[in-house]
Amino acid sequence: MSLPLTFDDLSLWLAAAAIILLVTYELLSPSYGRSSVYINRKKLRNAALTVSALFVMTLMVRLVTLVIYP
């Protein structure tokens, strides 16, 4: 049984998740006022940076495969 997600699907999912997490982190900044929902901003920032780093790694793997195997 093979995994239904391809590498391209994973890269696209990571890109969308990174954008959503980064936008959410920015909207929770103190300059936008108080929110009734409590979200730990430090954990959200760490999650956003981790997902962004994973997305960049998938891009690097794709770039290396394009350079090595044209």
| Environment class of 42 (CB within 10 Å of its CB; exposed 0-12, middle 13-18, buried 19+) | exposed
Task: Return the domain boundaries, the chain.
Answer: 7-68
- Summarised one tens digit per residue, pLDDT across range 37-65 is 677 888 888 999 999 999 999 999 999 99
18, containing H or E segment: helix 7-27
Predicted structure pTM score: 0.78
Position 59 scores a pLDDT of: 93
Task: Give the tens place of pLDDT for each residue, 11-37.
Answer: 999 999 999 999 988 887 665 566 666
Q: How many CA atoms lie within 13 A of 28 on its CB side?
A: 16
Looking at this protein, which amino acid is placed at residue 2?
Answer: S
Q: Are 51 and 17 in contact (CB under 8 A)?
A: yes
pLDDT of 1 reads 65
